[in-house]
Amino acid sequence: MIKNPNYWGTDERYPQNKLPYVNSIKYLIIPDDATALEAMRAGKIDIMNAVFAEAGSGNTENKP
């Protein structure tokens, strides 16, 4: 998604600033939870949906 250059809105607090402040949004579909978690840790993505605890633990053993 990219912003509409013809959007008319301005910031109420700073009227000289045109809205929106963001230029684009890129959606990535990463079906594997472990890969998505690694992308988050590496800074490749900024936000993600919840992942299962097993994806980030490194192993699935129960430890007392």
Chain centroid to Cα 43, Å, comes to 10
Q: Which two tokens stand for residue 39?
A: 């992308």
The string of pLDDT tens digits covering residues 39-51 is 999 999 988 887 6
The string of pLDDT tens digits covering residues 12-62 is 999 999 888 888 888 889 988 889 889 999 999 988 887 666 655 555 454
The answer to whether residues 24 and 2 touch, using CB atoms and an 8 Å cutoff, is yes
pTM above the 0.75 mark? no
